[in-house]
Structure 1
Amino acid sequence: MCIQAKSKICIVAGDITTIHVDAIVNAANSQLSDGSGVNGAIHRAGGPTILQECQKIIANRGICPTGEAVITSAGNLPAQYVIHAVGPIWQGGSQHEEELLAQCYYSALKLATQYTCKTMAIPCISTGIFGFPKEKAAIIAIRTIITFLQKDSILEKINLVAFDKENFDILSAALANY
């Protein structure tokens, strides 16, 4: 359910694996392996094809560095693509985590436009087991997305997806205060 929009951004509460969009962003790890949290949910719902494609990417190019993104098909998900974006692990803010998180969102957005996606679903990246402070991450996400959209993007709608009420409220406040 979308309750707040600014520009082309909508805050949505729910399960990212059920949203019908052109591309779903996965909060990936640098090995592109299935794991826990949103990453695990995307791999489970999408089926083995996603992991197989991720393994081919790793075999061909090595790990996906923090701040970068790669794309695969979406397997059984209601999307065309999954964009695997690697966010930073929070280390107190002294290791350029804020810049790396912004780069992570930017890389995902750029890849979506390269594949002519018009709609996206993006989770909160790095705020789970990677420990990034949620309020700070929400502000970075909103700022990066709005800046990207101001550059003549073909993207028509970006759903920022919150799995729980806490993240929904944090994203909503960040968008309202931008």
Structure 2
Amino acid sequence: MRQTDLEHLQQLMPAAELGQISRSDVSFIFMSVREEARGMPLLRDVGDCIAHRQRTKGTSYQYVTEFVAHFRQTATHGGTFKIDLFFPIESILAQLHDVLRKAGVEYDSVRVDRHSEQWARLLASVLAGTRFDLDMAHCELVHEPQPHLVIQFLEDINGVLRIPTSVAIGVPAFVDSPRL
């Protein structure tokens, strides 16, 4: 991590403790730690999604691919449909704290975690527009009215559930009971 980025991170974190961070601050933070997030695929992928809006690899691409296949299988043949969060904010913040601690950035992570809903809202805003074009569907992260992943299948699904290509489906992305 560049020294100037490290210094800027140290300046930002007291404001983060108070919940006084902006969309650009969140973008900077995740872009700054991207290269340091080795062994933390979720945190690394957040930075990659900010850097590359069209995803063709990474944790998020794998999640979307598996999720869409599972959704299609369940809609076609029935069964139990399970939704796991796309970017669980608690896990992202835990990994962020670990990287920042290792880099020597001093702040109170508990105070930052108190503002997890704000982090989720800002991160959703930063990541809005990230696209995943799969063989069977187009998917995009959107921010309004709540952060979610929109899935639009490229061909009609006929089965237990009929989903025409004109219908987009939204699933939670950051928190499982959004109050954002």
* TM-score between the two structures when normalised by the length of structure 2: 0.28
Say which structure is richer in helix.
2
TM-score, normalised relative to structure 1: 0.28
Instruction: From the two aligned structures, give the one with the greater strand fraction.
Output: 1
Q: Which has the higher contact order (CA 8 A, sep 6+)?
A: 1
- Which structure is larger by alpha-carbon Rg, 1 or 2? 2
